[in-house]
Amino acid sequence: MDAVRGAALVVASWSRLAWLPALCWSALALGAPGSELSIDARAADSPTGEPPFTDDRPDLVLLMLDDWGWRDAGFMGSRFYSTPHMDALAREGLVYEHAYAAAPNCAPSRASLLTGRWTPEHGILTVNSPARGKKGTRRLLLPESRRHLDDGTWTFAMALQELGYATAHVGKWHVSEDPGGHGFDSNFAGGRWGHPPEGYEAPHGLPGTEEAPAGSWLTDLEGDAAIEMLAGAGDRPLFLHWASYAVHTPIQAARGDVAPFLGRPADGGQRNAKYAGMIAAADRQLGRLRAAHAASGRKRPLVIVLTSDNGGLAPITSMEPLTGWKGMLREGGIRVPLVVHGAAWATPGSRSQEPVHHLDLAPTLLALGGAEPVSGLEGRDLARSHEEPRSLYWHFPCYLEGRGFDGDAWRMRPGGALRRGRWKLHQDFESGRLRLFDLVEDPGERTDLAADEPQLTKHLEDDLAAWRERVGAQLPPGPDPGFIAEPVRRSR
């Protein structure tokens, strides 16, 4: 059924964020047409039909940095970046060392996280067109990719809203024109943009930043907005979707944030002082939010999930010992930091080697918010023990221009991937080539074992093909008759 959408509530002032009451969706579309998602979100004993707010459910914060690499924090092993607040969060929470984004670039990854759906299911396969690069350099024709989610497409924020949560978005959105069509009562800086259109220093050209004074920095303003939205939630539990623009390009940071890293010894490929300053600014805002919650007098516990939308961008940073970077299905392009802090089951100081996926965050956060399990979501509630291995899938029938791995002319060629247990399978749609890696022994994906393990390779190939059929994944329809020659290779 169609969603009845109220007017979007956009925060109009950077310094004073007015919290407006949640708009009620009288008919909530829980998924795309034909989906099986369902949730009982209303409280039967409420005379107004609205859920009661006299409960102790936690405030929920999903803090997602943009293009933040797997090793771009002290708690992930970096000796160059300084992340004391993130490191404290990790020490006091649960770190997943094998966590994955749903795609190697931002829009499809974010759409999957919000909807709990694989990329072929929501249809956003890449950023902009799949046919990237110069005309005549692509060997294959490509399927269509959606640019945005339709308004009313189900997100777990809509379900939390129906459960009585005040829902707020801060930062980058990039999956439609406005978060208001997807379950958010308030919005600061979110819209169609994939990066700050005017840069990180004011003016920013984003909703809610119109009155930002000269010299103000966007990441600091995000922190201001997050704290004011927390204060504005009143007696209601808050879900804050803080999708920071940091640390996406342009690489810009305040001088005071850059200065500590000038002259600091490099750690492998981590040496960019401005990028380090951007991470430090985001880290500081996390600390501010935690301090504000502690000082607020709110009786609710605070659960924070910290992650990234995809791998870091080389050569700005390095994910070593992982290889690859943003835009690739190699580990460096899709494996991301993930910390869960404040949940009863997130044992302080613990680390998990279990492969987990951003699709797991929707059922996890819904469970924390008091929802019954939602049918139709394939992700797992992370609160439960999962000893049985499962397959994780990626589908990227697209070209991405740019510097490729080991001198490849493309950053990414059309292909797919699967992880099951210790094994990772890559499939190249141009050649049909299959490559198999043992990620326990070879996290850098250097030694192809497909010829040594033919039965396992065939089994995983069949698994990947069956999944594509189940979710309606479209493959490239055939060779591109306009192909002339490969792009000029870029040197490493």
Both structure tokens of 388? 């049985």
Distance, C-alpha 390 to centroid of its chain: 21
Q: At CB < 8 A and 24+ separation, what contacts does 431-437 make?
A: 434/461, 436/460
- Which of 114, 380, 96, 89 is CA-nearest to residue 239? 114
- Which of 440, 22, 68 is CA-nearest to residue 236? 22
pLDDT tens column, 157-190:
999 999 999 999 999 999 999 999 999 999 999 9
Cβ–Cβ under 8 Å, residues 355 and 93:
no
Low-confidence stretches of the chain (pLDDT < 70) are: 1-54, 387, 490-492
Number of continuous H segments (helices) and E segments (strands) in the chain: 10, 15
| Residue 12, pLDDT score | 26
| Residue 491, pLDDT score | 54
| Residue 488, pLDDT score | 82
Q: Looking at domain 59-385, which CATH architecture does it have?
A: 3-Layer(aba) Sandwich (3.40)
> Among positive and negative, which fits the CA dihedral 340, 342, 345, 348?
positive
ω into residue 363 within 30 of 0, thus cis?
Answer: no
The shares of helix, strand and coil residues in the chain, as percent rounded to the nearest 5, are 25, 15, 60
Q: Where are the domains of the chain?
A: 59-385
Instruction: Indicate the Cα dihedral angle 212, 213, 217, 219, nearest 10°.
Output: -30
**Concatenated DSSP letters of 149-160:** PPTT---HHHHH
ω into residue 479 within 30 of 0, thus cis?
Answer: no
The H-or-E segment that residue 428 falls in is strand 423-428
Main-chain phi, psi angles of 57, to 5 degrees: -60, 150
- Which of 464, 416, 400 is CA-nearest to residue 105? 400
What pTM did the predictor assign? Answer: 0.90
| Residue 490, pLDDT score | 60
> Among positive and negative, which fits the CA dihedral 27, 30, 34, 36?
negative
Alpha-carbon gap, residue 153 to 35, rounded angstroms = 11
- Which of 17, 113, 27 is CA-nearest to residue 62? 113
pLDDT tens column, 120-137:
999 999 999 999 999 999
Alpha-carbon gap, residue 402 to 380, rounded angstroms = 35
Query: What's at 167, amino acid-wise?
Result: T
| Residue 27, pLDDT score | 25
